[in-house]
């Protein structure tokens, strides 16, 4: 069995520089899919929607598992769940301004492939393959990065980094004081 916290309430949004955001996440075995992973996905969708996000990865609520939820409209009814997503077949290049629920107050342009193919499982364990373009491609790449411990600020230009420097420093300060350091 996967080691899930007893109560979903314990799983709240984690902010940079929480070390959990840097841990590579583990795949979810097919045999583990069931009501508890479905509840987890539902919880993640609620947190995403409540915070006006369009994507959320499990490490962002402190759980190093390969599960991602996305809703391009930000609405619960449009949310999709991707278990163990793999992205491939990258095409083109685009530069889109991104933000992240774990990095409040920071927005910066990120260059990424404009299209990709996503292979993932749904909550019933069915493998499906879908093509993602434009915003969908940006979001799935951003969320898959989270599963590998990568944040969008790792991918921004040095000029953008300089522009965000103060906010990043403030987040680091807030995290340290939250840790009682
Ligand atoms: Ni993010």
DSSP result, 22-47 = GSPPBPPPGGG-SHHHHHHHHHHHHH
Given a cut of 60, whether residue 136 has pLDDT beyond it is yes
d(CA 19, CA 36): 25
Given a cut of 90, whether residue 181 has pLDDT beyond it is no
Please check whether residue 44 lies inside any domain of the structure.
yes
145: left (phi over 0), alpha (psi -120 to 50) or beta: alpha
For the segment 93-97, the average pLDDT, to the nearest whole number, is 96
Of residues 7 and 48, more confidently modeled: 48
- Give the catalytic positions in this structure: 143
Total number of domains in the chain:
1
Kindly report the CATH number assigned to the domain that includes residue 159: 3.90.45.10
Please check whether residue 141 lies inside any domain of the structure.
yes
Q: Are 79 and 69 in contact (CB under 8 A)?
A: yes
Kindly tell me the burial class for residue 4, based on how many C-beta atoms sit within 10 Å of its own C-beta (0-12, 13-18, 19 or more).
middle
Q: Report the percent of the chain where pLDDT is more than 90.
A: 92
Kindly tell me the burial class for residue 88, based on how many C-beta atoms sit within 10 Å of its own C-beta (0-12, 13-18, 19 or more).
exposed
Strand locations in the chain (E): 55-57, 67-70, 80-91, 94-98, 108-112, 115-121, 127-133
Please check whether residue 70 lies inside any domain of the structure.
yes
Q: What is the mean pLDDT of the chain?
A: 95
Q: Which of 112, 149, 150 is nearest to 132 (CA)?
A: 112
Q: What is the whole-number distance in angstroms between the Cα of residue 15 and the centre of ligand 1?
A: 10
For the beta carbon of residue 129, count every other beta carbon within 10 angstroms: 11
Please check whether residue 34 lies inside any domain of the structure.
yes
Please check whether residue 1 lies inside any domain of the structure.
no
Please check whether residue 181 lies inside any domain of the structure.
no
Q: What is the pLDDT of residues 26-77, one digit of tens each?
A: 999 999 999 999 999 999 999 999 999 999 999 999 999 999 999 999 999 9
Residue ranges making up the domain that contains 139: 8-176
Q: What is the whole-number distance in angstroms between the Cα of residue 126 and the centre of ligand 1?
A: 26
Peptide bond into 116 cis (omega under 30): no
Q: pTM value?
A: 0.95
Q: What is the whole-number distance in angstroms between the Cα of residue 112 and the centre of ligand 1?
A: 14
Rg (CA), the chain: 16
Q: What is the whole-number distance in angstroms between the Cα of residue 99 and the centre of ligand 1?
A: 7
Token pair of 168 as six digits: 């990043």
Q: Are 58 and 101 in contact (CB under 8 A)?
A: no
Confidence of residue 115 (pLDDT cuts 50, 70, 90): very high
């Amino acid at each position: 069995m996967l080691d899930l916290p007893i109560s979903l309430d314990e799983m709240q949004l984690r902010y940079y520089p929480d070390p959990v955001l840097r841990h590579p996440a583990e795949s979810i075995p097919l045999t583990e899919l069931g009501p508890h992973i479905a509840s987890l996905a539902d919880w993640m969708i609620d947190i995403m929607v409540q915070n006006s996000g369009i994507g959320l990865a499990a490490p962002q609520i402190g759980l190093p598992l390969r599960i991602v939820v996305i809703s391009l409209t930000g609405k619960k009814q449009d949310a999709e769940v991707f278990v163990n997503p793999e992205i491939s077949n990258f095409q083109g290049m685009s530069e889109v301004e991104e933000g992240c629920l774990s990095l409040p107050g920071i927005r910066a342009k990120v260059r990424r492939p404009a299209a990709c193919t996503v292979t993932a499982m749904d909550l019933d364990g069915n493998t499906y393959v879908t093509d993602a373009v434009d915003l969908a491609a940006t979001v799935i790449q951003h969320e898959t990065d989270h599963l590998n411990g990568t944040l969008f600020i790792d991918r921004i230009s040095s000029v953008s980094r300089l522009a965000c420097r103060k906010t990043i420093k403030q987040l680091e300060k807030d995290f340290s004081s939250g840790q009682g350091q």
